[in-house]
Structure 1
C-alpha cells in the first residue's frame, strides 16, 4: 500500500482537483467520446465510456481488472489509445486552467527584475549583465514519447481552449466547440506510436521546429526587452545543441549528421535575419534630401546596384537591399538555397563570416546615430545586431561528445599505423600523459591520407573533419565544446586535443592554440570526487594556459543521471555540489574562470526540477555569471513549446544566473556541509546495498518494471544500453528512470535518503535546520517530496507480481516499501507537514490529477504485460503496451 501519509491516499485526493480543471477535463473528455462515437460507432464509444466510468468509480476495484482481463487484443489497443488521448487532454485541461503555471510561478523572475532587486549601481548592474553567459543546450536524449504531430495537435487544442476562458457569444461558442471537436477527432485519428525507430534526422527536424517557432522568436523578444532595460542588448543568452554531434554510444551520429544539423540551423537563422532586414528596409525610407548618410552607407547602397528611380534618394533602403542579397547568397552556400522572401538566387558575394553581416548592420546604426541621434536607430535594428552577434550563422552552437574509451582506441590506432611500436593501451597514466604532451609540442600529424584506418577511426576522423569545415563556414562560435564522457584522468583531456590536431582545430608547437574547447564530463560518484584533482593537473600545465588564452575560462560538465544511477539521489546531488565547489576553488587558486555545464534530465532522478530554482540553489561561488544546462526530451516541448513559455523560461534562467553569481566561495556553513557529506555517504551505501548488492535485484528490475518493453520503444535514435548486457551498470540512465516511473516506484528520486539518514541518526528537526542552512539541500528535499508524491506503491506492488520469483521479489519489495514509508515520514517531519505537498496546493492538485488519469492505464498495462510474458505475441498486444507507456508518460509528464 502507498502508506498513510502518501498523496495517493483516497482521502488525500478528495477535492484536490479544482473546479476549473475538472470542468476543462470533463469537457475535453466528452468531446473525445463524441469524436470516437462519430468516427468508430456506438460499440467503440460504449466500451471506452464503460471503462472510463469504471475507472472513475472504482479505480483499482476488481470489476475494472475483470473488464480488462476480458478484452481482445484489438479492444485492448482501442482502450489504450483512448486512455492515452485522455491523458494528453487532461494535461491540456489543467494547463489552460492555469494551475500548473501557478505551481511554477515562484520560480519565475525576469532578468531586469533580478538586476533591480540586487540594489547595485547602474554601472555595476550593466557590467554584471554584459558579463553573463547563459546557454540552454538542447539534446536528443530519448525522453520525448510524443510524436511531433501530437505536440502540434496539443498546441492547437490548448489555443482553442484558452479562447473559451472568456465568455463567448452563442455563435462563437458553437464554432469554438466545433473546432475543438474536430481537433479531438484528428487526435483520435493520429497515430500515437512510432512504427519505426526515430532517426537523428528526425530528432534534428523535431527540435528545430520548436527553435524556429518559439525559441528564436522568444530570444529575439528578450533581446529587445533587455536592450530597453539596460540601454544596450547584452548577449547574455546563447543557444546550444547536441543534435547531430553527440556520438557517445550513438552509431547514427557522424559527419553527415553534423553537416545536416548546421545546414538546417543556418536555414532558420538566415530566414530570420532576412525577415528582419526586409522589415527594416520598409521602415527606413529615409531620403537623402532630408538627412545625410555616412560614406560607408553610401558604399553599401552603391554596391546594391539598385536602379529604380523610386529608390534613388533612399540610401538606407539600397544598403539593406545589398545586405539582403548577401544573406541570400550566404544561404545558398550554407543551406543550399536562397533565404525566405527572396525572388531567386543572388549574384551578390556571400558573407564570409557572420561578423561581416554584423559589421554592415553597424554601418547602418552608426550612420543613423551620426545623422539623427541614437533615438532614430530604433529597437529593431539594435535587437537584430544583438541576435546576430549571439547566433551568427550557426544559430545553436553544436557540441561534439564522445566517450574517453573511444579516444583511447583512436590514439592507439593512429600511433600504430604511423609506424610507432608503442602499445598505447598498455601504457600507464603517466606514460600516456608524457606521450600526448610530446605530440602537442610539435605540429606534425599522426594521421596520413594514404593510410586506410579501421571503420571506427575513419568515421571519427570524418566527423572531426566535418567539425573543422563547420568552423570555416559558420565561424569560430559554431562548435560549442568537445565534451569528453567518462573523464577520469588527465589523459582523457589530452587525447581529444591530439585528435582535434589531426583536422586543424588544434595547433601544437611552442604556442599551442585551439578553435574548440575541451570540456571533461565527470559523471559517476567516483569521477565527481576525483574531478577537481584531474582539473588541477590540467590547469597547471603550460599547455592548458596557452590553449585557454589571455582571459582563461575552463568549462567542466557535471552529470546528474549516471551519478544518480551509480549512487542514488542524495549522493548524486551532494556529489555534484561538492565537485562544483572544489572545481571552483581549483580555478580560483590558479586564476582561471569556471563555467559549469550541468547535464540535467527532466525527472527528479536525473537532476530535474525547476531550472531557475536549481540555479539559485547552486553552491556559493560556483555560478560566476557563466552556466550551460542541458534541456532534454519532453522538457524541450514543455519549457519552450510556445513563444510565451519559452520567453518566460529563458528570462527566468538568465535572472537566476545573475542572482546566483552574487555569492562567493566559502559562504557555506562548514558544519552544515560536513553533516550533508555524512548523509550523502550513508545514503550512497543504502542505495548501493539495494541496487548493486542485493541478490536477485537485477532480475527483479527486469521483471517488475516494463524495462524490456521500453527498450523496444521507438522514442529515440540512441540504444537503451551501452552494451548488449542486462547489467544495470551498462544501462543508460534514461530507461532506468523511465522504467521505475512507469511502474510508479519513482525509486531513483528518493531511494537511499531514509536509509542514510537512519544510519547517521538524522531526524526531522535536524533535517529542517540543514535545509534552512543550505538552499541546495532544501531544493533536494522539495524535489524528493514530489517524487514521493508521484509514487504509488499500491500499483507498484502489482508490477512486483509480474516477477517469476515471487518470494524473492516480495522480499525486495518489502525493503523498498519500508524505505519509502521512512522517506515520507522524514520528508514531512523536515518541514512540519502532515501530507505530501500540503504546502503546495497547486502542485498537489497537479499530482492528484495525474494519478487519477494514469491509474487505468497502469492497470491496462499490467494486464497486457501479463499476457505478453505468458507468450501472447499478437501485434495488437505489443502496440497496446506501447500506447499505455505513452499515455502514462504523458499523464505523469515524466519519462526519463
Structure 2
C-alpha cells in the first residue's frame, strides 16, 4: 500500500469513524457528561491557541474560566477540570477500540503478511522449506509479561475495550452505545495500590483471553504450512511471567505471593482446558473413547474447581489420554473431530500444567547479603569469610559448593528470609507444574561472576543438589559499565569448572538478560543502544568459543526510550556476529494491551517476531553485519552522545527540573503498582535510585522525551563535521539495526511537544535549562530528517505518525490541566493543605489519561 493510500485508509477507517462514534458520548443519559462533551471542543481550542501563544498553563486556564460565569468558584472550576479528565479518558478508550477494530483494513504496518509470504515461497522451494523446518527445531519466541506500571487500564476497562472492538467491526451502534454507557459508569482508578497477586490476576486476563488461543493457532498454522506431524511439533511460542516473582526493589513481593501466583496461573489454565474439553466431549460421543474422556473430565474439573494445596504435574497423564482418544478417532471413526483433540494436545504441549514460566528476579546486593548472613552464622559452610572478602578472584576460588540444608533465625532481615524461602519454594512449584513452571532466577545489577556463583551456592545450601539443580541462572547486565564488563563475567563463568558442569547439565544453554531502561537513564539513548549491541557481539563470540548455546533475553519496554518501538525490525537486523536463535523479550503496560490485547494484534505481532527471527538467519542482509570501520564510527558517535547526556545528568538543575515541573512526585501516590517509584524510598531522591519507568514517564508527561533522543543530534552533527556523513548515510540505508535506532528516535520526537512548555524559556530558574533541552531537540530533528531524507518526522510511517498525532491532540487538554495543577501547588498562593491534596489528585488523574493515550509513552 502506497504512503498516500495508507494515510487515506487511516483517515477514513480511524479518524472519521472516531469522530462519528465520539458523538455518541453526547447521547448518553448522563447530564454532566453531555455538558462536558459540549464544552470540551471549546476548551481544547482554547488550550491549542494558548500554547501557540506560549502562555503559561495558569493563564490559559484562568482566561478560559473568565469566559464562563458559572465557573467563578474554585470548587466549580476544579470539578469541571476533573470532568474534562474523565471524559478524555473515555475518549482515549474509544480511540483505542476504533483503531484496533480497523487493524486489518488500514494495513497498519508494512510487515503485514510477511510470514505468510515466507511460507508461500517455501512451498515453491523445497530447499528453503527444509531450511525453515530445520531453523524451527532450534528456534523459539518467548514473551515475558511484566507488571511494570506503564499502562493503567483496570481489568474491567480492558474487557470493555475487547467487546467494543468487536462491536465496532460490525458497526453495531446499539451495542456500541451500551458499551459507552458501561464505560461511563466504570471506574478507571484503583482505590488502593494493587498487591503483586492483584497485578498477576490482571495480566492473567491476557493469558486466558489472548495468548492461550493465539499461541495454539499460530503453532497449528505453521505445522500445517510446513506439513510437520503433531508428534514432531516443538514448542515455538513460550510465555514468561514476572508478577509475583519479580522482587527486585519491590518488598511487597514475598514467597507467599509467589506461591499464590503460581497456584492461580495453574488454576486459570485448567479452566481454559476445561472449557475446551467440554466442546470436545460434546462432539466426541463415540464408542471406545469413554474411559479416556471420563479420566480427562475428572482431571480437568478437579484442577479447575477443587485445586489441591500441592498438586502433581499431570501433563503426561493428560497427553496420554488425549492421544488415546485421537487414536480411537483415527482408527475407528474416520478421524471425525480429531482436529479438536489435536488443538487441545497442542495447547497442553505448549502450556503443560503451569501456563507460563514464573521468573524470579532479585538484586545482586540482596543475594550477597543473604550469602553473608549464612557464612557468618554457619561455620560448616566452609567459607573463609576473611579470605572471601579480599576480592573477586578470592570469591570465585573460595566458593565451596557444599550441599547443606540451612535455615535462618527469626531475627534475620526480611529480604534474607524471602530469598531463602523462595529458593525452597521453587522446588515445590516445579513438582506441581514441571521444571518449566519456574526455572529461571534473574540477578539484577549483576556485576561479577561471583554474583552468579554465590546464588548457585545459596541453592545448594537450601537443600538442592548439584546433579538435580534444575535452575537457570540469568545475569542481568543493564548499566553502561555492567554491559562493558559482561563479556569478562561470562568468560569467568564458562571457565569455572563447577558452573561449566552446571550448564552442561542444562543442555549447554545460557540465558543472558540485557536490560535497556537503566542503560538509557545511565548513558543516554544512543550509548544505551550501542552498548547493548556491542555487548551482544562480544558475548556471542565468547559463547561460541566455549560451545554454549546463547539465549539473549531483552528487557525492551514499550517506548523507544526503554528499548521498544519497532522491535521486530531490531530482531530482523541482527548480523552474523549475534546469536539470534531464540527471541526473548519483556512486554509490559501499553505494549501488552496495544500489541497483544486482541487476538488479531497478538497474532500479527507474534508472527512478526517469528518472521524476524527467520529472516535474520535465512535471508540475512549483508549490511546487517557491521564492518570494523562502521563499528568504529558508531562507537565514536555513541561517545559524543554519551558526553552530551552526561553533561545534562551532571547539570545542577537536572533532577530539580524533573521533580519541580513534572508529576514525578505524584507518580508515587497513584495506585498503579505494588512497586515503589524509586528504590530506597526512605531517602532523598538520587538518580541511581529512580526507577527507569518513572524517569521515562516523567519526561513523557512533560512532552520532552529526553531519554529517547538527547545527544543523538550532537552525535550526528559531529559525524558531519568530521566528514563522516557518507558513512552514516550508508549505515542508515544498509544497517537495519542503525536504521531502527534512528527511526525509533524520531518516534520519540514525534511524541514531544516543546511548545507545551515554551513559557518556561522566560523562567528565572529553569529558562536556560529548558532552552538547552529544546535546542538539542531541534538539532536532533534537523539531522534525523536530513539522514532519512524526509521533510517531517516519521514520514515513512504515515499510519503510526497519524495515530500518534491524533492521540496527542486528544490529550493536549490533560497536559495543560496537569501543568496548571503542578504550578498552582508550586506557587502556593492561598492554597490550603486540603486544596493541595485535591490538585495532587487532579495531577494523578491526568497521568492516567496521558499514559494510556501514549500507548508507547515516549
Q: Aligned match of 1:432 in 395, 411, 417?
A: 395
Moved more, 612-621 or 714-723: 612-621
Matched, 1:747 2:747: no
- Contact in 2 for aligned 1:765/1:830 (Cα 8 Å): no
* CA gap 1:494/1:332 in 2 versus in 1, 3 angstroms: farther
Deviations 1:320-366 (A, max 9, x none): 211332333445675669xxxxxxxxxxxx86442332233334445
Q: Aligned match of 2:808 in 835, 851, 855?
A: 851
- Contact in 1 for aligned 2:595/2:602 (Cα 8 Å): yes
- Matches for 1:571-650 after TM superposition, within 5 Å: 571-650=527-606
TM-score (norm. length: structure 2) = 0.89
- Matches for 1:348-497 after TM superposition, within 5 Å: 352-366=313-327, 378-419=338-379, 422=385, 426-436=389-399, 438=400, 440=401, 442-445=402-405, 447-448=406-407, 453-497=412-456
* CA gap 1:382/1:16 in 2 versus in 1, 3 angstroms: closer
Aligned residue number for residue 500 of structure 2: 545
Q: Secondary structure at the match of 1:554?
A: strand
- Contact in 2 for aligned 1:194/1:715 (Cα 8 Å): yes
Matched, 1:142 2:99: no
Alpha-carbon offset, residue 246 of structure 1: 0.4
Matched, 1:78 2:92: no
Aligned residue number for residue 19 of structure 2: 26
Aligned residue number for residue 127 of structure 1: 134
* CA gap 1:46/1:415 in 2 versus in 1, 3 angstroms: same
* CA gap 1:659/1:379 in 2 versus in 1, 3 angstroms: farther
Q: Aligned match of 1:195 in 182, 191, 200?
A: 191
Alpha-carbon offset, residue 481 of structure 1: 1.0
RMSD: 2.9
Aligned residue number for residue 340 of structure 1: none
Matched, 1:236 2:242: no
TM-score (norm. length: structure 1) = 0.85
- Contact in 2 for aligned 1:521/1:558 (Cα 8 Å): yes
Deviations 1:695-754 (A, max 9, x none): 222211211222112222211111110123311121000010001111100111100111
Moved more, 573-582 or 321-330: 321-330
- Matches for 1:802-821 after TM superposition, within 5 Å: 806-821=763-778
- Matches for 1:869-884 after TM superposition, within 5 Å: 869-871=826-828, 872=831, 873=833, 874=835, 875-884=837-846
1:833, 1:218 → 2: CA distance?
Answer: 37
How many residue pairs match? The answer is 818
Q: Aligned match of 1:781 in 716, 739, 742?
A: 742
Deviations 1:89-114 (A, max 9, x none): 33334444449953324266337835
Aligned residue number for residue 277 of structure 2: 277
Q: Secondary structure at the match of 2:436?
A: coil
2:116, 2:814 → 1: CA distance?
Answer: 42
Deviations 1:18-41 (A, max 9, x none): 244332222233222332x73337
Alpha-carbon offset, residue 383 of structure 1: 3.1
* CA gap 1:367/1:799 in 2 versus in 1, 3 angstroms: farther
- Contact in 1 for aligned 2:151/2:852 (Cα 8 Å): no
- Contact in 2 for aligned 1:100/1:842 (Cα 8 Å): no
Q: Secondary structure at the match of 1:318?
A: helix
1:664, 1:448 → 2: CA distance?
Answer: 55
Q: Secondary structure at the match of 1:549?
A: helix
- Contact in 2 for aligned 1:672/1:774 (Cα 8 Å): no
- Contact in 1 for aligned 2:551/2:582 (Cα 8 Å): yes
Matched, 1:213 2:209: yes
- Contact in 2 for aligned 1:799/1:862 (Cα 8 Å): no
* CA gap 1:372/1:719 in 2 versus in 1, 3 angstroms: same
2:440, 2:16 → 1: CA distance?
Answer: 49
Aligned residue number for residue 51 of structure 1: 43
2:614, 2:729 → 1: CA distance?
Answer: 27
Q: Aligned match of 1:67 in 64, 69, 85?
A: 64
- Matches for 1:658-673 after TM superposition, within 5 Å: 658-662=614-618, 667-673=625-631
* CA gap 1:866/1:425 in 2 versus in 1, 3 angstroms: farther
Matched, 1:181 2:181: no
* CA gap 1:416/1:743 in 2 versus in 1, 3 angstroms: same
Aligned residue number for residue 4 of structure 2: none
1:400, 1:559 → 2: CA distance?
Answer: 16
1:828, 1:125 → 2: CA distance?
Answer: 38
Aligned residue number for residue 567 of structure 1: 523
* CA gap 1:635/1:849 in 2 versus in 1, 3 angstroms: same
Q: Secondary structure at the match of 1:106?
A: coil
Alpha-carbon offset, residue 372 of structure 1: 7.9
Aligned residue number for residue 300 of structure 2: 327
Aligned residue number for residue 227 of structure 1: 223
1:397, 1:615 → 2: CA distance?
Answer: 22
Alpha-carbon offset, residue 608 of structure 1: 0.8
Q: Aligned match of 1:688 in 646, 652, 675?
A: 646
Q: Secondary structure at the match of 1:315?
A: coil
Alpha-carbon offset, residue 43 of structure 1: 5.2
Alpha-carbon offset, residue 479 of structure 1: 1.0
- Contact in 2 for aligned 1:77/1:877 (Cα 8 Å): no
1:628, 1:517 → 2: CA distance?
Answer: 15
- Contact in 1 for aligned 2:122/2:128 (Cα 8 Å): no
Alpha-carbon offset, residue 435 of structure 1: 2.3
- Matches for 1:698-717 after TM superposition, within 5 Å: 698-717=655-674
Aligned residue number for residue 305 of structure 1: none
Q: Which runs of 5+ in 2 are unaligned?
A: 1-6
1:814, 1:55 → 2: CA distance?
Answer: 22
Q: Which runs of 5+ in 1 are unaligned?
A: 1-13, 165-175, 287-313, 338-349
Q: Aligned match of 2:164 in 157, 167, 173?
A: 157
Alpha-carbon offset, residue 764 of structure 1: 5.0
Alpha-carbon offset, residue 861 of structure 1: 1.4
Aligned residue number for residue 770 of structure 1: 731
Alpha-carbon offset, residue 755 of structure 1: 1.7
1:689, 1:821 → 2: CA distance?
Answer: 18
2:586, 2:552 → 1: CA distance?
Answer: 11
Moved more, 404-413 or 468-477: 468-477
- Contact in 2 for aligned 1:561/1:607 (Cα 8 Å): yes
Moved more, 148-157 or 775-784: 148-157
Aligned residue number for residue 170 of structure 1: none
1:828, 1:44 → 2: CA distance?
Answer: 40
- Contact in 1 for aligned 2:760/2:766 (Cα 8 Å): no
Deviations 1:383-433 (A, max 9, x none): 332321221100100111000000110000011111377258844212221
